[in-house]
Chains A and B, each alone.
Chain A
Amino acid sequence: MPSPPVIYGLFADPESADRGMNALHRAEISSKKIVVMSAEPFDDYSFAKMDHHTPMPWIAATGGVVGGTCGFLLARLTQVAYPINTGGMPILAAWPTGIVTYELTMLGAVLTTVVTLLITTKLPNWKSKLYDEEVSNGKILIGVLDPSDAARAEIENRLRGAGAVKVKATNPHH
């Protein structure tokens, strides 16, 4: 997919990044169109406070339930499917069934967590062009996805004004 045109600034430190963020907000650019990238999580800065709402714990719990059910059925059904008496124990042995159920519950939770993570963060995604290696040198990238041609100039100024060490733009027309 051709990545959308974007204008972004690279900030040397979180404080200036914060300023850049606020500047964009003041320009009434919807946070939907704003993109942020950093080499570390900056949990206590506003620019990193985007979409912090996730049902991941609940999904994980559900996954656990599903896994547990599978475990229970596996244990239960196979004992019935191949009913053999050993050591004077009941064909349906409760405690071992419990153990298998427990293990698969945990497995279910873990796997769903991982899957949810990958899906919600759209990973893996090797195609995306929208990235700047400066990020991994500590720069913080803040930009706007396909801005209206009218707004382009203003956005650039605001980013510079906020203290972006560099402002780059990808132009759709060429």
Chain B
Amino acid sequence: MSHQWGMAIDLDRCTGCEACVVACHAENNISTVGEEQAELRRAKHWIRVERYYEGEFPDVTVKFMPVFCQQCDAAPCEPVCPTFASYHTSEGLNGQVYNRCIGTRYCANACPYVVRYFNFYNPVWDKPLHLQLNPDVSVREVGVMEKCTFCVQRIKAGEIQAEAEKRELKDGAIQPACVQSCPTRAMVFGDLSDPESEVSRLAHSGRSTKLLGELGTRPKVNYLPRDSWHGNEIS
């Protein structure tokens, strides 16, 4: 059976440092939109770290939660696209075919996580910033919807490499940019169809929850909520 790529995020480790956000920009040729557009809430952050304050001073706590495309199995974004620009790949990813996208933005409305980002203008890189562009990732033109791909270019590269070397893919051999960068190892990426994989272990640990699971979108990202401290064997 083909891989089912998924992720687990341990919010007990996540410190909201944003390394994943910048790593994603660097890996996926996400253009910066500049101050005016950012003010119009058109900044594109395929992965964003949601921050929620709870309580009032002095009893304040803060929650961080990285949110990005959940690669749902029953993805609301897919069926509503009239041109099959968003569709389901055999490896369980929510594919987004930029060349097919005509920009109805229906998928973005249907997505309950609001993790799809729209190119309101053509991307611009002030020379020579364009030299940083990753040749493995296509650049999206105006009017096209884009979103987290689980770094599909890295997944494909890994699979092709493994195939060329006639070997099984090792668990953890493939790492999306965010996972690769995460300083606290809060994010784990892997094959959910392999019960031995680290991500499966975490996904089936008692702590695992799904974001907005009640909507029945069957996301492939598992969140492990922050733990509370209750001493340890010493006490």
Contact = CB atoms under 8 A, between A and B. Distances in A.
A86 B81 contact: yes
Contacts of A88: 73-75, 88, 218
Interface string B63-85: 00000000001111111010010
A89 B76 CA distance: 10
Interface in A60-87: 82, 84-87
- Contact residues on B (Cβ < 8 Å of other chain), bracket: 10 to 19
A85 B75 CA distance: 11
Secondary structure of the A contact surface, majority rule: loop
B88 A87 contact: yes
Contact of B74 (A82, A84, A87): A87
Nearest to A86: B78
A77 to B, nearest CB: 16
Q: Is the interface of B mostly helix, strand, loop or mixed?
A: loop
B112 to A, nearest CB: 13
Contacts of B81: 86
Interface string A87-98: 111000000000
Interface in B39-95: 73-79, 81, 84, 86-88
A12 B79 CA distance: 66
Contacts of B86: 86
Contacts of B78: 86-87
Nearest to B76: A87
Contacts, number: 27
B84 A84 contact: yes
A87 B75 contact: yes
B221 to A, nearest CB: 16
Interface residues of A, number: 7
B87 A86 contact: yes
Contacts of A84: 84, 87-88
For A82, A85, A86, A88, the residue with the greatest tally of chain B CB atoms inside 10 Å of its CB is: A86
A111 B218 CA distance: 45
Contacts of B87: 84-86
A83 to B, nearest CB: 11
A52 to B, nearest CB: 47
Interface in B81-119: 81, 84, 86-88
Contacts of A87: 74-79, 88
A84 B100 CA distance: 14
Nearest to A96: B79
Contact of A85 (B76, B77, B88): B88
Contacts of B74: 87-88
Contacts of A85: 87-88
Most chain B CB within 10 A, of A85, A87, A88, A89, is at A87
A82 B88 contact: no
A85 B73 CA distance: 10
A55 to B, nearest CB: 39
Given A86-B81, A87-B88, 12 more contacts: A84-B84, A85-B88, A86-B78, A86-B79, A86-B84, A86-B87, A86-B88, A87-B75, A87-B77, A87-B78, A88-B88, A88-B218
14 contacts: A84-B84, A84-B87, A85-B87, A86-B75, A86-B84, A86-B88, A87-B75, A87-B76, A87-B77, A87-B78, A87-B88, A88-B73, A88-B88, A89-B79
